[in-house]
Each structure stands twice: as C-alpha cells, then as structure tokens.
Amino acid sequence: MSKKDLRGDRPQYTKENVKTLCDAKFVRLYDLQYREGKHYCDASRRVKEELVALKSDEDFQTMLPDAVTIAVVVNLPGEGPKLLLNYEYRYPVGQYLLSPIAGLIDPADRDGDNPLVTAAIREIHEECGLVVKETDKVTVLNPCAFSSPGMTDESNAFLCAEISVSDISEVSQDGAEGTELFAGFELADIAEAERLFATGRDRYGNFFSLATWAVLGYFLTAYRR
C-alpha cells in the first residue's frame, strides 16, 4: 500500500486566517480557519506567533515542547528501584490526581545546551526537594509528545531521572509555587506499579492522567526483571 505524502494536500495556515478568541494569562483559544467558512478551535499556552500550526515543517520537527514530564526513579540503599509520583491538585478535574513530576519549560531553561534536562532537574527540585547530583542520570525518552492534538497543541517531553537518595526524608513538597497544590507522594515498587498500570486507579480508587500511565509503562518496561 502506497503512503500518502504528508506534505501534500493539507490545510495551510497563515497569521491572517488564525484568529484569537481568548487571550488569558495561562491559556489562549484560537480559531484556525482551515478552509473558507471552516473553523477549528485550538487551546494553547503559546502566543500566536509561536503556534505549532503556523510552523514550517523544519521548525515543527525541531521545536521545543511546552513542558517536561519525568519518570523519577529513586534508588534507596538495599532496596530495588521505586517510581516517585505525587498527588497534585488538578483544577479542571477538581481532584488530587496521582501524577509524575512535571512542569512547564521556563524561558531561562531555553538558554542552555539542553533545555529539557535543565527543566527536568529544576522541576525535580521544586516538586520533590531532590537535588540531582552528577552521579545521577537524566535521560530524554521522548523529545516532544502532544497531549491531546484534537483540542490543543500542548506538548511534553518525557524524561527519566534515576536518583540515589540515602533516606526518603530527603523528599519534600515545600517548593510548590503559584497555583501548585500537593498532597503527598506515592513511592511505587514494581508490584505496585503493575497494579496501578493494570487498573488505571490509584490507592484511593481514583483515575489518573495519561502521562501517569505512560510513566508507569516506562518504569515497568525498563526496571522489571
């Protein structure tokens, strides 16, 4: 079966046929007119000039994502690897959801040689109080994955940070900033990760995000023996 040329017949946007419907501090809503009289809404964190839909093929393939999501794997003395997750309040859901360590890429992160790793190290310190040492390992798993491209151009890079700690008391949520609200951690070993992955529910019976499911899947794939 022949493959269709992905650069062939497709809607092409210009700034003129992209209209701003809502411009708020944390999110914007755009009207993408993809044909005469045909409209598609796009929720985005980006200003109009940085919209993914307006990027050239080259810019699209080299773009930085909006945020980083990290599989934080903790090594404690004499114990097997454990996946560190937190309970973070998610405003659109109205619940504390079991979540990976994650956060937006700040403008300052973009100035270095490896913005994804820089952002990940900063978010790990802010959200769980851990300092990533030179002996620890931070790896990019996926440089840019779209969250829900049917309604938003928001994207995340997925990383893994393998961190050795002497005692779990090093973990803290005192670095919460802005709207962030946390309600403790989950330190999942392989058996607990298998249960979470298979059921799609946390210990309280609540659902969690697709990012949590992806991080659990990576943890089980990479660390289950």
Q: Is 180 in contact with 200 (CB distance < 8 Å)?
A: no
pLDDT in tens, 126-181: 999 999 999 999 999 999 999 999 999 999 999 999 999 998 888 988 887 778 89
Question: Does 118 share its domain with 46?
Answer: no
Residue 145 tokens read as 């994955």
pLDDT for the residue numbered 12: 86
- Domain membership of residue 71 (yes or no) is yes
Average predicted confidence (pLDDT) for the chain: 93
> What percent of the residues of the chain are helix, what percent strand, and what percent coil, each to the nearest 5?
25, 35, 40
Q: Using CA atoms, how far apart are residues 96 and 81, in angstroms rounded to an integer?
A: 25
- Co-location of 55 and 78 in the same domain: no
pLDDT at 45 over 60: yes
- Residue 1 in this model has a pLDDT that exceeds 60: no
Over 80: is that where the pLDDT of 115 sits? yes
Structure tokens at 83: 């996946």
> Tens of pLDDT along 5-16?
766 678 888 999
CA dihedral over 60, 62, 66, 68, signed as positive or negative: positive
50 and 138 inside one domain: no
Report in angstroms the alpha-carbon separations of 178 from 46, 103, 126, 217.
19, 12, 12, 30
Q: Are residues 205 and 190 in the same domain?
A: yes
pLDDT band at 4 (very low <50, low <70, confident <90, very high): low
**What is the token pair recorded at 49?**
């000039």
Domain count, the chain: 2
Instruction: Show the domain range for 102.
Output: 67-223
* CATH code (residue 185): 3.90.79.10
Whether residues 185 and 90 fall in one domain: yes
The verdict on residue 195 lying in a domain is yes
Q: What are the φ/ψ torsions at residue 212 (nearest 5 degrees)?
A: -65, -45
- My answer on whether 122 and 169 are in the same domain is yes
Residues 121, 66, 28, CA angle at the centre, nearest 5°? 140
pLDDT in tens, 75-111: 999 999 999 999 999 999 999 999 999 999 999 999 8
Q: Output 55 or 225, whichever has higher pLDDT.
A: 55
% of the chain residues with pLDDT over 70: 96
